[in-house]
Structure 1
Amino acid sequence: MDELLRAASVVRLKKDEAGDFLQESKPSERHNEAAPNKTSSTHVPTTPGEALEILKSNPDYDTLTSTLNFLLRYRTADAAPYPAIRLPSPLSAQLVQVLVSDIVPNYWALLVEDSQESKSSSTPLGSLINCLASVAGVNAILVRLKALIQEGKHEAASKTKRPDIVLNLQALCELLSLLLRSPKWLLETYLAALVASDAPSRLKPLLHEIVATFGNGRIISLAAEADEFIKANSGGKELDDFWPADPAQYTDWLGRNIVALASSETTPEATRFAADLLGKALRLGHVDTLIKQLMMELVLDPRRNPKDFGRILGGLPSGDQRKVLHSVLKMLSAEYLDRLGRCESENSKSLISAAAGALASALGPAESASKHLVDWLTSSSGAGLGDGIGIRRAVMAVISQNRDDLMSAFERSLGQFGDQLYIKHSPVLQQEAHAQVLLLAAGYVHRASPIKLVMALRSGPWMNAISNRLAATNQRARILGIFVGEALSRLVDKDDQRLNFKMEETDQPEGRWYKGLVEVSDSVGPPDALHQHRTETAFGSDKKKHTLPKPAPKPMPPKEPKSGFVIEELSDGEPPEEDDIVPYAKPDSDPEDSDDDPTLVRRDRPKAPVYIRDLIRYLRDTDNYDHQKLALTTAPTLLRRKGNYGAEVSEHADEVASLLVGLGDKFNMDRFDELRLQGMVALVVAQPGQMGPWFARTFFEGDYSISQRSSVLAALGMSAREIAGLEASDYATSAAFPSKTLPERVARLYLDNSTSPSPQPASSLKGLPRNALESIASSLTNAWLAPLAAKAADEATGPDVLKLSTFSSRLNQDSSDRQPLLDPAKTKYTSKQRPRQRAIPNTTANLIATSFFAPLIARFQAALHTSSSRSRTATAISHPHLLSLYLQTLALLLHASGPSTLALPSMTGELWRLLLSTRVRAAAVGDLAVTRAVLFGFLAMLDLNEDRARDLCAELGREVVEAMEWVGAVFGGLRGGDESGEEDAVKALAAGVLVRLREAVEKYQLVMVEGLIGFG
């Protein structure tokens, strides 16, 4: 009985120490009072086994501190640089398990508090982290996390709450964040594995365990699951900076560790270890971010050796090498070469040479990597689709170092350029890129070995290529064949034997630029120019801003007060003509200044941004409501006003667009989606040639949500209709400069109130609805189906001779249809007639076709061939909502280009084949919205090509028959009569498309016979 009642500890104070009893106690003293210890004396272990027994016996705080310090000091003979607890052994595994399962739950709060109060660099918390800095420590934390999560789920199912589970999960999550903070963590783990293994046979399984632990996504999944469980069971409270649960931050940490490993260790084992880690990291997502980080720190950093990246790339499998190289090419193009355009400026050659040097350094000694570059140039979906020619010139400069690769690229490009199926089915944007590759490769081959180029141009593939190009139905494909034919003939033929088609297009600037590509020759230089260009781009504008002093304001001359009285006669009507001064209106009352408490009145309200850089700064400030509100309300007007004045918008367009697309509604702002969409539309309208391809690339390759991708498509569709003059935005009127508007007094004389160009107040500006494209598509569908419905109703009532009408109805019809310029006796009005649109010159059709339609079509085709089930492009082409919205956008772009565009045949052919390729996807997703979008696309093309139905049947005979069979199957498979009415709408749309297709086929079936021979 005495043993059970023995005191835990006895503390005696001397008389001079016994002061006030209410004193602040230290963490160690509070723990000594609360811990059920048998003695208060600090015990220092002498062996790891004794340390294990102390940790199991629930020691006091001082004993725990001394034990952790001992474990860090204890080293074996074969592991001198590292503590024995960090090396793999049965005893170290037991120590780590006790620290994670017993010490951390009981002492974590005291350890954290002590580390915050202590001013010393070495704290007990730091000692604990150093003891667990091993693969065994991370695995023990992960196992404990999984066990606690399962216990928490079981307790939640049984409707019992254990608060200790949430507290223990929080402690383990914080420990994991602190444990993996170092960017050299994997390097230290690799060196410890070298020390622990005395033979290569023992080193390989250790490194395999490290790669399996940190590369398979187990840390991310468990951390994210623990984070969600904590949020759900702690009232929505989030952990501070729990970065392992974020895949992007974890991939960034893994990339920094790979950089440190590749820079410090150059042994074959270290290179293979880094390559294995990189191969695993490529499967975690965020590939472009990871490769960009490696390129910036290993290749483009002048303090590093660029060959380190090549050594890691050589250790990857062939598929991973291809993925890394494609990401490198994308990064070089997006960051440095895309803004060069056609690379006609002075610094273009130096930047291309530096990009070629960076690419050559990234390749390293890997022989298969250069083969991947040849495949990238000549593949059906490669060659930098949608990117500028700068990246193709850089790749060609690298390939030209090897003659075999150069000849392979030239021969494959020539064979592909003349393939009939390629000419007929490949997007125009893709054919333009491959034509540039062929011209560049021909120039390099001619300079390296002229006789090989002569022999190639005397062969059958060259003759077939020119013949197939000239016989192509696509006008752009023929023009590209003419460019290539004249350019290559000029290299090998004499003056009297050169090809000269004597066409106007060949003498235009574009034709001269294409034919001049055979003379382009780039070298492989050092990548230093890229680092310098990036530095100037990031800091050049700021430096100029700070170095230029602001001029001092001119003092205003004092005004002399008027003396005496002035008598003036004022009229009640118009203001006097000799005085145009209009007094300012009385300011409205400010609700913020009318507060009873003067301390609540805000005097520091931010002003609206005047410059684009201010707009960018406001958009970046996501924690300030006023800045976000001002930026969104000002962006549509500011971007439109400055779009065509100077280069302020064009230089920052990419940055503004990325901020607008990725902006989130953090403050639950009114009309947030409408304002953000209006800003994007204004940016595209201001710079259509630059932002059209950018938004198309962002839709497929950007890391955005479904709603953000939908806004990208809405911005493209609405801006294209505004450019074509089909939509009028109130923001365009409000953004007009005063010099472009009439004075108010003159406007009243010549313009009425309905057509007054004066800016409207902000309250009258109407925003776009979230389903703007669906609304436009529905209205166009009704307009296109109305004549068919009227015709069907007209035929259903019987023959024309039996139709009667009242005198008043005929009178109303005659008065409404009367045209004074036409002879009424020679004019016949029927229900089939439709009002013709006013003929206006279509000056924007080429812009919509090249900057909006072609990039969207080409990137969709590339995504079909290259996307995997886990990629971002797969989401863009497989999600029902995005796919239907994408198809509607293409149809609206085609409608906006108009029937007078020269590219209408090629645009119709590309869209028709794309719609046929989505038939299987429309059936696979089982969503009527996709089927409706496909039918809407067919109806738009048929309506736009109404005057050229014969050419449509002759050029796309097989496609027309396939479409008619599919639409007939859709019409027969829908029953209709559903509650929502969606099936009825789709069936009506299918009926309209089917009627028009059958009319065209019956009328021009003889024209289609030649094209349908052999169609099975």
Structure 2
Amino acid sequence: MLDILKNKPDPESIEECILSVDSASQVESLRLVSLLLQYTIPEVFRELPSSTREHIIVLFRTALGLGNLVGRIAMCIRSKPSAANEQTLLAYLDLLDHVFLAELVYTALKVDLSRKAIYTRELEKLLFRGKAFSVIGELSLVYPNIQVPAVFRHMDAYSRYLAKELLFLDDPTPFVSPLFSLGSGLLNQFIDVMFTPENIPNLITMRSSMKRYERKAFIAKFFDYSTTLIPKDFIHKEKIIALYQLSSQFLDGSVWDELTIENLLARCDYSLNLLAALLIDDSMGMSRILIRSWGNKNLMEKEPIPMQQFRTHLLACVCSQLPKDSLKSMLRSSEFLTAMSNRLQSFSNKVKALGILFADELSRVSEEKTIFSIDVSDEISIPAVRILKSESTGVADEAWAKLQQPIISEVASVEMGEVQALMKPMKLADSVAENLSDDEDDPTMATSSKKVSNPIYIRDILSYLSVDTKDPQAYEKRKIALQTAPRLLLQRKGFGSEVAFYAESLLTQLTALTNFYEEDDFEAQRLNAMIAVVESSPQSTTHICHLLLTGDYSLQQRMCLLSTMVLSARELRGFKRDGLVKKEPQFPTKMLPNRLHSMYLSMDDETSRVQQLIQDEVMSEPAEEAKDQLAGGKILRISSGLKRKAQNNDLLISKDQLRAYGSIVGKNFFFPLVAVWYESGGIDIGHYSPILIGHFIKSLSLILHSAFPVAAEINDMVREFLGIVVPVLQRTTADQLQIIESSVTGLMVVLDVVDDSILVSNFDHMVSAAANAIQQCFELIIDDRIKSLCAGFLYRVATLRQTLERSLMDQMNGSFYS
């Protein structure tokens, strides 16, 4: 009877053939499926009535039918492309789209309960091991014009479909192991589907079927998912407690080990540290593991300072769970004493400060006399919030409610009297400042019936910048705000906390501002206003870093934030800015149209000109030495020491201000940017990544240059800079010129500001690795200027090594003849 399918039967005959086959007979079912795939489906499936189509769909919602359908699609893909083949694939995909509906796995397993184990293995291979998804993915590559079913277009959609399929199963445990083999996307979608009040019992059930390594991997994936529930920029205690109450039901707290801890620390999240400390069962054993790594001398020398801060914070959180007797014994343990000894012997003040911070906290919690009683908050700090397991009270419903509460950002605390004074209503004068009288000739200004008043307070600038573009005076308000902001901010910074109160709002508003009116000087005016904000309130740099981490900004806006950090640091250092110096006009026929010309010139910003000046400065000495060697002798010239003294005479600040800058340049400018790099896991924005990475490294280089010689922590800054730049250089190609130029400029600054003996003893392996990376791509660099900069760096490194060798030989000869 099945042979009827070869002769284009009517829909009723097709239904009779399907109903006549015994589903328990694998041979007959296989023959029916094969004939349908060979004849009926390619020829008439899309023209059949809905009842006949439904019979076919039910047949293919089985392990046998689905496997053959996927296999036939794979055969068509490997066949020679043709119009007929493409039509066949369209029919198969139409059927596949109807097959992949809800309860597919449940339906396929209940066809024959005696063969359930066989069907489970087949479905695991087809669905959860990714065979079906890979076949459809291959089809998309071979036939890009064919539209595949929605569930196969993205891995996230496919993963979410499979996660929902598990909800329909009475026992989903056989499919738990494949969750860890298909990829992180399936696990993330699985957690998103399961972590709800209705589905969390499924997670509790599945935990018992997971192997130990799967439970550890599940903890790591749940931490990735947790970042969507609890904020990273500040610690929300109630949400962390609620998340602990719920997650502790299905996360195994006994599987934590050193690898799990390192995996957690790589996320650079204080909130996750608090959550992990609550989830760990063996707090005493884990604290010993953490102390050993925290006090490891080699790790201290190589691990970035921001990472050491997160490690110290996690150690303190874990120790806070211990009873007082255990803490007292820990203070006297050999592990703690060795770790503290290694910390205090470090040459880095920040490494020492972390040791002092932890030791004093441990003493206070154990109610012992504090060991050091030293305030190191100016040097380094970690969040002081600690959460004990005893604070976790309440029922699950309350925990879900707290977890789903919206997050309200906190604002800096200011005395209520100051707030009332700042928000007091005022009447502005109707006149415009004399220096703005040029706008009278501007035709756009003539559209408003009343001239805009000059802002007097910082809140006036903020209100002008945030004005709706539909306001008839919107253009005038924004123009006046941008023009007057730098002067007003610098004037008002000495009057209470007004600037500090509005600094974050101003930076957020200025960053998000767009060139709506297409003004030629918009970018320069916005940058000047942002620099004035940071110069008036250096503590606001933490908000800039927060915007870099969490803001959804364009490439130009992110570069503007970085430029603000750099140029404001140099302003505070006392360097003169050349950002407002007008250039000679260029011949019009050599320029692009104004808008296009300004778009391309936006990349050639003030920081690039500062970088060029620094390049000339650091390259002058090796260039002169190279000339001397080529000429066959040395030429008398002014010493570099005298030259530097002449440059320092141009600074615009007093010695007291210089000392004050030395105390904030690392804390407020350099190290927050370093923390951004590690917390974001580097920079990856696709095609434009080299531009932003180059600008980021350039920013670090210029801040490092401005920190010398006033910053006491210059060696720490150099170590962090090399820790970022060297790995970047090792994976940089010769065509990524922005990264190479900014990195080599920074490396030249490092060679210029660090004493040769310290450089060789502490950073020789990093400098050598950077030199090797540059040598590998040196011949492929096409830009002569950047190539000469690289040559100057390689020459300096070679000279440094020669000097060291001579010094060692002199010492050896002196000891031999003494």
Q: TM-score, normalised by structure 2?
A: 0.71
Residue matched to 2:360:
486
Say if 2:21 and 2:28, in contact at 8 Å, map to a contact too: no
Letter in 1 for 2:239: L
Any idea what the Cα deviations from partners look like across 1:771-801, whole Å, max 9, x if unmatched?
A: 7699676775455324421443366557678
Residue matched to 1:838:
651
Given the superposition, is the C-alpha separation of residues 613 and 248 from structure 1 closer, same or farther in structure 2, using an over 3 Å criterion? farther
Any idea what the Cα deviations from partners look like across 1:659-708, whole Å, max 9, x if unmatched?
A: x9xxxxxxxxx99xx99xx99x999x99853563675699xxx9xxxxx9
Residue matched to 2:175:
274
Distance 2:316 2:289 in 1: 13
Q: Say if 2:241 is the partner of 1:353.
A: yes
Residue matched to 1:889:
696
Any idea what the Cα deviations from partners look like across 1:448-476, whole Å, max 9, x if unmatched?
A: xx333222211222222222211211211
Letter in 2 for 1:382: L
Q: Say if 2:90 is the partner of 1:170.
A: yes
Any idea what the Cα deviations from partners look like across 1:918-969, whole Å, max 9, x if unmatched?
A: 78x45xx8x446899579646524525635416xx33x53454435655776
Say if 1:970 and 1:990, in contact at 8 Å, map to a contact too: no
Given the superposition, is the C-alpha separation of residues 612 and 407 from structure 1 closer, same or farther in structure 2, using an over 3 Å criterion? farther
Residue matched to 1:629:
none
Any idea what the Cα deviations from partners look like across 1:522-544, whole Å, max 9, x if unmatched?
A: 4265554564356543999xxxx
Say if 2:748 and 2:793, in contact at 8 Å, map to a contact too: no
Say if 2:232 and 2:269, in contact at 8 Å, map to a contact too: yes
Distance 2:674 2:163 in 1: 37
Any idea what the Cα deviations from partners look like across 1:53-92, whole Å, max 9, x if unmatched?
A: 332331024433x437x63xx796xxxxxxx3xx671211
Given the superposition, is the C-alpha separation of residues 833 and 512 from structure 1 closer, same or farther in structure 2, using an over 3 Å criterion? closer
Residue matched to 1:220:
133
Letter in 2 for 1:260: F
User: What is the SS of the residue equivalent to 2:232?
Assistant: helix
Displacement, 1:336?
1.5
Given the superposition, is the C-alpha separation of residues 152 and 479 from structure 1 closer, same or farther in structure 2, using an over 3 Å criterion? same
Any idea what the Cα deviations from partners look like across 1:243-284, whole Å, max 9, x if unmatched?
A: 3142222122122212333xxx1xxxx232231342343x2x
Residue matched to 2:392:
523
Given the superposition, is the C-alpha separation of residues 477 and 524 from structure 1 closer, same or farther in structure 2, using an over 3 Å criterion? farther
Say if 2:354 and 2:380, in contact at 8 Å, map to a contact too: no
Distance 1:646 1:983 in 2: 38
Displacement, 1:895?
2.3
Given the superposition, is the C-alpha separation of residues 526 and 185 from structure 1 closer, same or farther in structure 2, using an over 3 Å criterion? farther
Given the superposition, is the C-alpha separation of residues 59 and 257 from structure 1 closer, same or farther in structure 2, using an over 3 Å criterion? same
User: What is the SS of the residue equivalent to 2:248?
Assistant: helix
Pair member with larger Rg? 1
Residue matched to 2:34:
97
Residue matched to 2:7:
57
User: What is the SS of the residue equivalent to 2:651?
Assistant: coil
Displacement, 1:408?
0.8
Q: Say if 2:120 is the partner of 1:203.
A: no
Any idea what the Cα deviations from partners look like across 1:140-191, whole Å, max 9, x if unmatched?
A: 22222222222234xxxxxxxx322222222222221222032x22222233
Residue matched to 2:55:
127
Say if 1:915 and 1:934, in contact at 8 Å, map to a contact too: no
Displacement, 1:484?
1.2
Q: CA RMSD in A?
A: 5.5
Displacement, 1:648?
7.6
Say if 1:971 and 1:990, in contact at 8 Å, map to a contact too: no
Say if 1:697 and 1:859, in contact at 8 Å, map to a contact too: no
| Structure 2 portions without partners, runs of 5+ | 410-430, 448-462, 470-477, 487-498, 535-539, 573-579, 584-593, 813-818
Letter in 1 for 2:622: L
Distance 1:413 1:378 in 2: 8
Displacement, 1:207?
0.8
Say if 1:475 and 1:903, in contact at 8 Å, map to a contact too: yes
Q: Say if 2:229 is the partner of 1:335.
A: yes
1:396-795 aligned at under 5 Å gives the runs 396-399=277-280, 402=281, 405-446=282-323, 450-492=324-366, 494-495=368-369, 498-501=370-373, 503-505=374-376, 514=384, 517=386, 522-523=391-392, 526=395, 528-529=397-398, 531-533=400-402, 535-537=404-406, 689=542, 692=545, 695=548, 717-718=562-563, 720-724=565-569, 766-767=598-599, 781-793=615-627
Displacement, 1:583?
7.5
| Structure 1 portions without partners, runs of 5+ | 1-49, 77-83, 116-122, 154-161, 232-236, 364-368, 541-573, 591-608, 616-632, 661-669, 703-707, 728-750, 755-761, 804-825, 864-872, 1010-1016
Displacement, 1:106?
1.1
| Matching residue within 949, 971, 978 for 2:755 | 949
Letter in 2 for 1:910: E
Query: Percent of counterpart pairs with the same letter?
Result: 13
Distance 2:181 2:774 in 1: 48
Letter in 1 for 2:26: S
Letter in 2 for 1:189: A
Distance 2:359 2:408 in 1: 46
Distance 1:828 1:104 in 2: 84
Letter in 2 for 1:485: A
Residue matched to 1:395:
276
Residue matched to 1:904:
714
| Matching residue within 127, 147, 166 for 1:258 | 166
| Matching residue within 84, 87, 109 for 1:190 | 109
Distance 2:688 2:433 in 1: 61
Residue matched to 1:759:
none
Displacement, 1:213?
0.5
Distance 2:793 2:774 in 1: 6
| Matching residue within 172, 180, 198 for 2:100 | 180
Letter in 2 for 1:316: M
| Matching residue within 90, 109, 113 for 2:46 | 109
Residue matched to 1:286:
185
Residue matched to 2:194:
298
Residue matched to 1:40:
none
Distance 2:809 2:32 in 1: 87
* Aligned residues between the structures: 707
Displacement, 1:385?
3.5
User: What is the SS of the residue equivalent to 2:172?
Assistant: helix
Say if 1:353 and 1:523, in contact at 8 Å, map to a contact too: yes
Distance 2:438 2:603 in 1: 46
Given the superposition, is the C-alpha separation of residues 109 and 179 from structure 1 closer, same or farther in structure 2, using an over 3 Å criterion? same
Letter in 2 for 1:988: A
Say if 2:124 and 2:178, in contact at 8 Å, map to a contact too: yes
Say if 2:160 and 2:190, in contact at 8 Å, map to a contact too: no
Distance 1:321 1:725 in 2: 50
Residue matched to 1:667:
none
Distance 2:581 2:126 in 1: 75
Letter in 1 for 2:10: D
Q: Say if 2:278 is the partner of 1:370.
A: no
Letter in 1 for 2:237: K
Distance 2:761 2:25 in 1: 69
Distance 1:438 1:499 in 2: 18
Letter in 2 for 1:835: Q
Distance 2:93 2:500 in 1: 49
User: What is the SS of the residue equivalent to 1:724?
Assistant: helix
Distance 2:439 2:632 in 1: 68
Distance 2:468 2:225 in 1: 27
Distance 1:652 1:128 in 2: 59
